[in-house]
Every structure is written in structure tokens, then in C-alpha cells.
Amino acid sequence: MEELIRSVLFDDRLTSLVESKIYLLKAPDNTSTPYIEYEILDEYGSIYAENEEISTTYRIQVDIFTKTSYTSIVKIIKRIMKENGIIKEFGGSLYEEKTKLFHYVLRFNYEYESEE
């Protein structure tokens, strides 16, 4: 799943805005803005047949950190996730007092059906 998310987020439309600063879990200290962090929050079986999991739902979080407006980055992320069948669940903004950064949180759901 991490490979899928990574390939989706490393879309040229997004990397042109964040200079490929897209990190699993945590950006390195002193990373310049804007940058993105992503993670899988949850994974659970959503459909079972004959006691076998045949569909898995993943909850994914994408965090955007900027010193200025994050609007264009948010729009691109929503677009590329939707194009890849990853459905938005939630979005909301924060301001990080300690770092003085704007922080936008996006959460998505993705359902994967096994091939077997």
C-alpha cells in the first residue's frame, strides 16, 4: 500500500509544487516548506468470503505543511487521489504555533480487493 500511495503522490503536478518533498511519516528536521507527510492510519478487512479476507480498506492521511497558502497543493492532492480511486473522507486546517506553519490534514479511504 505504501508503494501505491507513494506512486500516486509523486505525480508531476504535485512534485512541481513541493519539489518532491514527500515523506512517509515524518519529514527530516529542518525541511523547507512546502512539504508533505503521509501515513497509513488504519487497515482492516472490509469483505470476507468463506472466512477469507477478500477486500481490505486502508485509511490514509496526508499532511501538508506550508508558510503560505496550501490551497493549490490541496486541490492537486484531491484530484490525483480521486483519479486513482482513493476517496476523500476528511479535510481540515490547523496552525502549528511552535513551528509557525500552516498545516492542512487530508484523510482518504482506499478499498483493495485481492486478486485471489
pLDDT category at 51 given cuts 50, 70, 90 is confident
Give residue for cell 496552525: 95
3-class DSSP state for residue 14?
Answer: helix
CATH number of the domain bearing residue 22: 3.30.2000.30
* Higher per-residue confidence, 80 vs 115: 80
Enclosing domain of residue 31: 2-113
* Domains contained in the chain, number: 1
What digits encode the pLDDT tens for the residues 68-102?
999 999 999 999 999 999 999 999 999 999 999 99
